Amino acid sequence: MYRIARVPMRPSLQAAHRVAAITRHMATPAQSSHSASASEEPPVLFEEKLSMRRYILNRPKKLNSLNSAMLDLLAPKLKQWNDADLAGIIVGTGEGKAFCAGGDVAAVVESIENKKHDEALSFFQHEFGLDYYLAKLDKPYVVVMDGYTMGGGYGLTAPAAFRIATEKTQFAMPETKIGYFPDVGGSFYLSRLDGQIGTYLSLTGNIVSGRAAFELGLATHFIHSSRVPQLLEKLSALERPTFGQVASAIDDLYTEREPSDPPFPFAGGVRDALDDAFSQGTVEDILVKLHHYADGKGKNSSADIVQWAQDTIAMLEDRSPTSLKVALQAIRRAKKMDLQHALAMELNIAKKFCSGTNPDFKTGVTAVMITKLKGRPEWSPASLSDVSDAAVEEYFTQETAPKLIMPRAEKDAKTRDTRKYALPSEDLIMKVVKGEHPSSPDTAITVEELLDRFDELTNNKAGVREKVLDVVSRRCKMDGDKFLSWK
């Protein structure tokens, strides 16, 4: 590990140059207020190297799951770095097989069992507060999603302008599996993915692996894990980097698709069926649509669509009925909210789950994480029909709304557009095709013209052409033999 040198927060210009020269030859881990024994490292490590400031989640045996001690370490250090003139870029990584596999929900449930409901809620207040603070960082923020990136790990990842997937990435929001709901801003960020992908991920908790995280917009970039050390060197060498410089540095390490790579799992007819099914207003209606596709009755039905629908039905039938209905309502409402209000809504929902009035959270965590139950936990209520609209509404109406607890910002910065450096959204492609974007031509556009337009808009970003062609194949038709129109 590196050792740390303490520097003034705002040195004079001369001192800044002197410190900058010194830091070119050394990097150091920050001391923390949480001391550890000689045989036990702290759960978060901090590194300062040139202009790069990096936190390293360090509970590898627990897949870096977040606990209160980690939040207490991260919050003040991130504020210090965001306020420091010498810090140019903030990077998050994880030790071992995960970036972060989620929050330590077993500890939360233990607090609930011990009637320490305020303690359980306090964890979420600090966790969500940190997630919101990350969304307002002034400096470029990069997260390397190398390994498991789930639940609370997505809360640290989603606010980053630069989210880097590798072939080892395993993304999921698996909360409905444990009788809870996708939180940490998940309702906000997932609702803004293309089509109904976010709704599908929220309800099923299905895993997205490797390159698919990049292709779906969960990540902004894709590199091979062997290039991560090179990436960190490139980022640390940037002095006072702009967002554009960071994007270019990461783009330079992009790894092209190999013939051995698994195919994109949500292409063609499967994606059309997904959007159709998960656009329905209730979980019951989603399942009706899925059964329609599982029976081979969908338009342009295929074996792939039938298998996907059958697998999706099986996943949903294993999930907590209460969690499914709450998760669907949350993502629908969050699409009309800003991040702050979405997090406030999620905190209200978390408070209800922490109250212990519904046993599913405890049941799910015990079954999945402690007893390792094979099969469906004993949810209560056990079926969707037994979860009334009134019962769901109780999760969204709280008399006393808890508040986010976060580092105090020196100025009220705005949250950033986290899709800016990702592949272009389907909505953006639609606007260019329909002539509703400032860069659109006055006349209809051809496929090649559309591809060239997006090369210009994204500075020839790798993966863009493949994304545009996939959208065109599903959502556009040819007028004559040349020009595109939106279906």
pLDDT tens sequence across 63-94: 999 999 999 999 999 999 999 999 999 999 99
Are residues 232 and 134 located together in one domain of the fold? yes
Residue 57 in domain: yes
Q: Where are the beta strands (DSSP E) in 22-65?
A: 27-28, 44-49, 52-57
Phi, then psi, of 469 in degrees rounded to 5: -65, -35
Tell me what the mean pLDDT of segment 395-414 comes to.
Answer: 80
Residue 440 located in a structural domain: yes
Q: Do 17 and 54 share a structural domain? A: yes
6 burial (CB, 10 Å; 0-12 / 13-18 / 19+) is exposed
Same domain (yes/no): 22, 119: yes
Domain span including residue 20? 13-172+217-251
Identify whether the C-beta of residue 198 lies closer than 8 Å to the C-beta of residue 216.
no
User: Does 134 lie in the same domain as 17?
Assistant: yes
Q: Of 422, 412, 421, 416, whose CA–CA distance to 339 is shortest?
A: 416
In angstroms, the CA 447 to CA 465 distance is 10
228 and 121, same domain (yes or no) = yes
List the catalytic residues: 103, 152, 175, 183
* Cβ-based neighbour number of residue 249 at 10 Å: 19
- Name the pLDDT band for 15 (thresholds 50, 70, 90): very low
Candidates 274, 295, 220, 290; CA nearest to 251 is 220
Mean pLDDT of 362-385: 95
Q: Per-residue pLDDT for 160 more than 50?
A: yes
The distance of Cα 82 from the centroid of its chain, to the nearest Å, equals: 21
Q: Which of 19-33, 75-89, 268-282 has the lowest mean pLDDT?
A: 19-33
Centre a 10 Å sphere on the Cβ of residue 256 and count the other Cβ atoms it contains.
9
Q: Are residues 221 and 90 in the same domain?
A: yes
Residues 246 and 322 in one domain: no
Judged against a pLDDT cut of 70, whether residue 486 lies above it is answered with yes
Summarised one tens digit per residue, pLDDT across range 331-358 is 999 999 999 999 999 999 999 999 888 9
Q: Is residue 102 part of a domain?
A: yes
Res. 216: pLDDT tops 50: yes
pLDDT band at 410 (very low <50, low <70, confident <90, very high): low
Residue 278 lies in a domain: yes
Q: Could you tell me if 23 and 143 lie in one domain?
A: yes
What is the tally of structural domains in the chain? 3
Is residue 178 within 8 Å of residue 377, measured between CB atoms? no
Q: For residues 163 and 418, what is the distance between their CA atoms, to the nearest angstrom?
A: 9
Specify if 307 maps to a domain. Answer: yes
Strand ranges inside 98-214, DSSP E: 98-100, 141-145, 148-150, 162-165, 170-172, 208-209
Is residue 207, in this structure, part of any structural domain at all? no
Alpha carbons 50 and 227: distance in angstroms, whole number: 20
- pLDDT of 138 strictly over 90: yes
**CATH assignment of the domain containing 133:** 3.90.226.10
Residue 409: pLDDT band with limits 50, 70, 90 = low
Share of the chain above pLDDT 70, in %: 91
Residue 192 banded pLDDT, cuts 50, 70, 90: very high
87 and 144 both lie in a single domain: yes
Q: Confidence class of residue 4 from pLDDT cuts 50, 70 and 90?
A: very low
Name the pTM for this structure: 0.91
